[in-house]
């Protein structure tokens, strides 16, 4: 009974969210659009509205604040969007060798801080955050990240992702501290690329905060936590990857499988700006809120989709599979789709060079437990009995934690959904001046 409670709470949470938020979304895949037409509808030029006209946007703006109105993900098409998207592309357009070297340097620095103990219990997401804070700070400002900047970025990114997963409330003071720091840093000298001129100085700081010190740090840390946890629970895959660190083809297949099985987006939504007539004749009227469900799409058309199996990839063409970890090319795909897998390989190699990973924790797509894992240093003598004892302790602890966390997620999530609905951040922004 107790072990089933977290699932029951998740289901109840979904019902409360739908109830408070309004049952406005059209699920894709769903009764109107099946998995075969998923990409066709996602790629349609009229599937282009991002925030205006969806109650769901109030919730995302609440979670991503401050400055959600200049976050690239939520800007409507137009001049401001074009300038912001161009700026992001410029920051990321560095030679692959340079980005790999930068990532390797930051990963080594952070992992070396772990000391020399034989066994260490960590949360993988927390372990990864400082690495990506350092990488993206240096990518943006062209200088080494200070410990002060790193602490502010990690506090900001942790606060956003904790609230998004309903594991804690928002702390705007933590986020505002980073904004103030970025404004001061920008006042003392420019970053490596010019910032969008259509944004005010405060909005420029929010743009950097939202795209690089929130989205980039959060997404990379989550993606790595999934990858490392999957390795911890699939020792054969881990052994092969550790033994053949230069086999980039296999590493790519493992990363593909991790992103397929544990896509970072649960749902991405679009608001239709015109009628869409789907190939099978179904009409989706203007103003429909389309909810593209990544986990369902990634499960459709694969044999035993729930199994983590990198060996399904040899001989399979990514473009022909139901696999869109970075969105669809025709509709605002992720600007980091080139650098993300490359840098994940670098960090995975650095972790596996030092540690063997073990974990018996629950591995779900939303990963609210942040990836509990035992790191066993490769250069230390193997102590299987001690390791088994620590793992047994972790198993008992994680089970209780899952239970309490799911109950607190229910309460905190309900509060935030109601609070976001009350604040109406997106709706107010799009209201005509006089109506605000
Ligand atoms: C493995 C890591 C990552 C994954 C799996 C991922 C996934 C995605 C997906 C699926 C979308 C499209 C969502 C939609 O259609 O609404 C997206 C958009 C976006 N991502 Fe990523 N992302 C990752 C890393 C990053 C990083 C490192 C950055 C920043 C440097 C980033 C910045 C963005 C931005 C700005 C958008 C919005 C694009 C636009 O609307 O023009 N992502 N990401």
What is residue 370's predicted lDDT score, i.e. its pLDDT?
98
Rounded CA-CA distance 213/207 in Å is 9
CB neighbours of 419 closer than 8 A, spacing ≥ 6?
Answer: 62
Q: DSSP E strands: which ranges in 16-118?
A: 25-28
At 10, is the pLDDT very low, low, confident or very high (cuts 50, 70, 90)?
Answer: low
The residue-averaged pLDDT of 274-297 equals 93
Closest residue by CA, ligand 1 atom 4: 326
The CB of 210 under 6 Å from ligand 1? The reply is no
pLDDT for residue 315 is more than 80: yes
Rounded CA-CA distance 60/37 in Å is 26
What is residue 54's predicted lDDT score, i.e. its pLDDT?
86
CB atoms within 10 A of CB 79: 9
- Kindly give the distance from the C-alpha atom of residue 345 to the centroid of ligand 1, in angstroms, as a whole number: 18
Dihedral of CA atoms 361, 363, 368, 372 in degrees, nearest 10, equals: 30
Query: Which strands sit side by side in the sheet containing 25-28, from one edge to the other?
Result: 25-28, 289-293, 267-271
Residue 165's closest CA among 398, 426, 422, 408?
408
- Kindly give the distance from the C-alpha atom of residue 344 to the centroid of ligand 1, in angstroms, as a whole number: 15
The residue-averaged pLDDT of 109-115 equals 95
| Best residue among 222, 251, 326, 367 to mutate for probing ligand 1, ranked by most atoms within 8 Å of CB | 326
| Best residue among 94, 336, 340, 347 to mutate for probing ligand 1, ranked by most atoms within 8 Å of CB | 336
CB neighbours of 241 closer than 8 A, spacing ≥ 6?
Answer: 231, 247, 250, 251, 254, 348, 352
Closest residue by CA, ligand 1 atom 29: 216
Mean pLDDT of the chain: 93
Please report, in angstroms and rounded to a whole number, the separation of the first and last CA atoms in the chain.
49
Closest residue by CA, ligand 1 atom 21: 334
Name the residue with tokens 């109950």.
407
Token pair of 377 as six digits: 């240093």
Residue 274's closest CA among 283, 287, 258, 261?
287
pLDDT for residue 435 is more than 70: no
What is residue 55's predicted lDDT score, i.e. its pLDDT?
84
Q: Please, are residues 99 and 339 in contact by the beta-carbon 8 Å criterion?
A: yes
Q: Please, are residues 41 and 277 in contact by the beta-carbon 8 Å criterion?
A: no
Helix axes 339-354, 124-141, angle to 10 degrees: 130
Token pair of 374 as six digits: 């035992």
Considering only 14-18, 44-48, 115-119, 179-183, which range has the smallest mean pLDDT? Answer: 14-18
Token pair of 285 as six digits: 């009227």
Token pair of 284 as six digits: 């989706």
At 115, is the pLDDT very low, low, confident or very high (cuts 50, 70, 90)?
Answer: confident
At 105, is the pLDDT very low, low, confident or very high (cuts 50, 70, 90)?
Answer: very high
Write out pLDDT tens, residues 330-387: 999 999 999 999 999 999 999 999 999 999 999 999 999 999 999 999 988 888 999 9
Closest residue by CA, ligand 1 atom 18: 334
Closest residue by CA, ligand 1 atom 33: 334
- Kindly give the distance from the C-alpha atom of residue 395 to the centroid of ligand 1, in angstroms, as a whole number: 33
The three-class DSSP label of residue 362 is coil
Rounded CA-CA distance 165/368 in Å is 6
The CB of 264 under 6 Å from ligand 1? The reply is yes
- Report CA 93 to chain centroid distance, whole Å: 21
Token pair of 235 as six digits: 């020792």
Closest residue by CA, ligand 1 atom 34: 334
Atom of ligand 1 nearest to the CA of 339: 27
The CB of 326 under 6 Å from ligand 1? The reply is yes
Q: Rounded to whole angstroms, what are the CA distances from 127 to 111, 171, 183, 264, 347?
A: 8, 21, 27, 18, 11
The CB of 287 under 6 Å from ligand 1? The reply is no
pLDDT for residue 436 is more than 60: no
The residue-averaged pLDDT of 120-134 equals 98
Atom of ligand 1 nearest to the CA of 85: 41
The three-class DSSP label of residue 344 is helix
pTM (2 d.p.): 0.96
* Bridge partners for 356 per DSSP: 376
The CB of 268 under 6 Å from ligand 1? The reply is yes
132-137: Cβ within 8 A, 24+ apart: 132/157, 132/216, 132/217, 132/220, 132/221, 133/157, 133/213, 133/217, 134/106, 134/109, 134/110, 135/102, 135/103, 135/106, 135/220, 135/343, 136/212, 136/213, 136/216, 136/217, 137/213
The CB of 83 under 6 Å from ligand 1? The reply is no
Write out pLDDT tens, residues 243-283: 999 999 999 999 999 999 999 999 999 999 999 999 888 99
Closest residue by CA, ligand 1 atom 23: 219
What is residue 420's predicted lDDT score, i.e. its pLDDT?
94
The CB of 220 under 6 Å from ligand 1? The reply is yes
Atom of ligand 1 nearest to the CA of 344: 1
The CB of 265 under 6 Å from ligand 1? The reply is yes
Local structure of residue 330 (DSSP, 8 states): T
């Amino acid at each position: 009974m107790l072990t089933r409670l977290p699932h029951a709470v998740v289901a109840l949470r979904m019902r409360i969210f739908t109830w408070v938020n309004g049952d406005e979304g059209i699920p894709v895949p769903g009764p109107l659009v099946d998995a075969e037409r998923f990409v066709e509808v996602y790629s349609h030029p009229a599937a282009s509205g991002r925030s205006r006209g969806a109650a769901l946007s109030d919730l995302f703006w609440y979670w991503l604040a401050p400055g959600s109105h200049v976050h690239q993900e939520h800007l409507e098409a137009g001049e401001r969007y074009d300038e912001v998207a161009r700026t992001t592309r410029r920051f990321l357009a560095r030679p692959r060798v340079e980005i790999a070297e930068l990532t390797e340097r930051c990963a080594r620095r952070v992992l070396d801080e772990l000391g020399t103990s034989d066994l260490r219990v960590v949360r993988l997401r927390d372990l990864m955050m400082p690495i990506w804070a350092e990488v993206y700070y240096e990518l943006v400002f062209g200088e080494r990240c200070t410990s002060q900047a790193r602490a502010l970025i990690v506090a900001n990114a942790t606060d956003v992702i904790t609230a998004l997963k309903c594991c804690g409330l928002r702390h705007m003071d933590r986020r505002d501290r980073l904004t103030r720091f970025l404004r001061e840093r920008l006042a003392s000298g420019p970053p490596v690329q010019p910032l969008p001129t259509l944004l005010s100085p405060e909005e420029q700081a929010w743009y950097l905060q939202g795209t690089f010190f929130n989205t980039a740090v959060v997404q990379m840390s989550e993606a790595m936590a999934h990858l490392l946890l999957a390795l911890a629970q699939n020792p054969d895959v881990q052994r092969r990857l550790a033994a053949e660190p230069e086999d980039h083809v296999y590493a790519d297949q493992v990363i593909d499988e991790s992103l397929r099985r544990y896509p970072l987006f649960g749902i991405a939504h679009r608001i239709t700006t015109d009628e869409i007539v789907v190939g099978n004749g179904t009409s989706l009227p203007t103003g429909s809120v389309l909810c593209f469900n990544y986990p369902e799409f990634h499960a459709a058309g694969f044999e035993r989709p729930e199994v983590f199996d990198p060996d399904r990839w040899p001989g399979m063409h990514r473009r022909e599979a139901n696999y869109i970890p970075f969105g669809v090319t025709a509709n605002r795909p992720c600007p980091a789709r080139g650098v993300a897998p490359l840098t994940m390989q670098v960090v995975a190699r650095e972790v596996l060079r030092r540690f063997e990973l073990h974990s018996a924790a629950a591995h779900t797509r939303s990963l609210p437990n942040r990836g509990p894992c035992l790191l066993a240093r490769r250069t230390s003598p193997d102590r299987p009995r001690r390791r088994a004892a620590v793992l047994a302790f972790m198993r008992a602890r994680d089970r209780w934690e899952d239970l309490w966390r799911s109950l607190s997620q229910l309460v905190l999530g309900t509060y935030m959904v109601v609070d976001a609905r009350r604040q109406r951040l997106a709706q107010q922004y799009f209201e005509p001046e006089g109506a605000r």
